[in-house]
Structure 1
Amino acid sequence: MNTFLSRLLSVIGCCFIFSAAWFCLWSISLHLVERADLAVLLFPFGLRLGLMLQCPRGYWPVLLGAEWLLIFWLAQEVALAHPIILMTGSLLTLLPVALISRYRQQRDWLTLLRQGGALIAAALLQSLPWLPEGKEGLNALLLTLTGGLTLAPTCLVIWHYLTSTVWRPLGPSLVSQPVNWRGRHLIWYLLLFSVSLWLQLGLPVELSRFTPFCLALPIIALAWHYGWQGALIATLMNAIALIASQSWHDHPVDLLLSLLAQSLTGLLLGAGIQRLRELNQSLQNELVRNQRLAERLLETEESVRREVARELHDDIGQTITAIRTQAGIVQRLAPNSASVRQSGQLIEQLSLGVYDSVRRLLGRLRPRQLDDLTLEQAVRSLMREMELEDRGMVSHLAWRIDESLLSE
């Protein structure tokens, strides 16, 4: 029973909030297109598509039902034309939304591109019933594309923030913590938004052709610093600045085309920058992995060197000692034989030569100082053994390496 009540309350709250937002956006759209039926295809369409692309399927009937109730109410109050065409188009848009909902991607750039493709397909299907109306079909397509690509990405940004943030319950420990307003980010947003408004309201008429190029600068700046979220937020700021300007009243189609161009720029640039960030992150991970692999290879090599040096020292050292002992015994057994004494001395000299050669080989294979001394002391000992001063070379070692950070 409690589950049913909570579900009912969530449905009622969702319906009320969506209806209020839908009506406000319809009022803004009506200010732009001056026709009640076409105003439904601008920002209200983008709001519904943006929410349907993010929320679970169980809420789709709530969104459609609330929109149909509002269309029916507007048809009674303001004589809204073509309500059946609007409802039919909203039903057709369920097809691309249902298809895209089956592919939930963890990669943000792929999600952006797929949802952008779903928005374009939904805009085509929403404007499909308007084709018998002639020119109104092209206007409907332009309105749906502009509204969908302008508002739906904003829903994605908000949904991504709500679902990716770790929310903690409000408690005494959390209440005592100060609120981090991130003033630097707010100042950046306000500054760029002010620049966008100034570009729309302050530039002379002679420089109006450069306005679209100037409006791309906030998108590039925020996309570079904040990724795809910054690109979409900059697109929304530019859209508000374009709507707030007074130069579009004589040419509303130019405004819609500008909004559409800004939205496409932000969407594609955000997806591209996010893709580059993911590639850079994967390259960084591979670099760290290769560094760890190289460290393990070096550690394995040093371990093999240590084992080989130990085996050579133990086995060959004992063998040479045994040879020298036997040579001494032979010399004592035949003290009067000059040839035997000479052969024994030769064997001792050869064994000592072999021992010296093995010691030099062990020093090159695994210096003994590495096991007995620290790395700095071992390097200094090596420099002393090289006898650089005797060769006329002045040497100085400035050791600045923290050996605690080094592995074996």
Structure 2
Amino acid sequence: MSSDLTVAPNQTNPEQSDSNASPSSPSARLSGFVGMFAGCGALVSLAAFLPLPARFEELGLSPSQAIQLSYYLVALVALVISLSCFIGLRGLPGEDGKGWSVLWKTSQQPSSSEDDQFANGPTRLPYWKQLTTALFLGFRNRSIALGYIGGFVARASSVGISLFIPLAVNHYFRASGLCDEQHEPAPGSGLGDIKRLCPRAYILASILTGASQLVALIAAPLFGFLTERSRRYNFPLLFAALVGVVGYLVFAMLPSPQYKGPDGNAGVFVVMALIGISQIGAIVCSLAVLSNGILRVSIDDEMLRKIFARSDDDGSPEPNENQPLVSGSVDQQLQQLEHLSNLKGSIAGVYSLYGGAGILLLTKLGGLLFDVWSSGTPFYIMAGFNGILLLTGIVCGVMNHFW
């Protein structure tokens, strides 16, 4: 019961874990708050970290020194946060017995109750087997697979907004000759070398990305609320993917990213809102779908039997070096080994692995095609990513309806 509560509070009956209408589980709402704080982090980076080099230049540092000192300062903030997590997240339930030795050997998790039918508690697999199991679950469980793909698109979206939108705006200003009219600022004017070359592009890019992140911040709790009420068909995730396809395609085809002037159009803010909604929807809904997928994995899954069970036809363990460390029938071994509370971290790690792959693919491929083909190429790629997510979500919804 303690293990079940660790995976899903308010859902203690394993037979009810496959229910698609379980309003008591707060996982989707928690995902909404996670997305909201992710949006807060993006706003902090735009408001506090991005202007650091220019502020350091105002203090008399060279551009290279200003950038270097900015990285040092952000690294110091990351170090303080990591130390806070190291201290504040100690002693969590289910963390007993974890250590470096579990990387290569199986360990025994202490039982949470004296009345537990297994006195020594469930067996914790080596970390490498937990990782491979989490990878295989992405091919066996459609909810976990959809969550992985959503994480891929979510991380790529963050790069598309923070990196390629400013790059596209700067390219437009330079290609249009709008930066040539900028003159050298007078000494002591407070405008550093980093923003001096084309300050109008810098300001416009900040406005557009800030508007997108602000809309994402506002929409995060709403996506969490809606996702909780659409667990079977994942309509919020489908909506976010559809909005992403439309938003990125329209932005790539815009004649100008400006919102005023003869070539400007205020509709660019609508496009940025669509992109922000797509980003936060992918973040929040993918986390919620992944959580629901973890709850739906059954200990009777044939793939897990092949991974964990080592027995002959009559159910007795084989007398070889691969014999399980725990005794009992295959079903008892599965009940001990298959505790998803021990796999949540591995599944989260694979989720982040997919996200990192999305970042690398978009930055490398999108950056190359940006230079050799068109400035709108990264946004066409993002529209394709969201299209794949949309089709995958539709297929999963159809399968959930009939099976």
Shared fold (TM-score, shorter chain, > 0.5): no
Q: Structure 1 or 2: larger helix share?
A: 1
Larger radius of gyration: 1
Q: Which structure has the higher relative contact order (CA within 8 Å, separation 6+)?
A: 2
State the TM-score, normalizing by the size of structure 1: 0.30
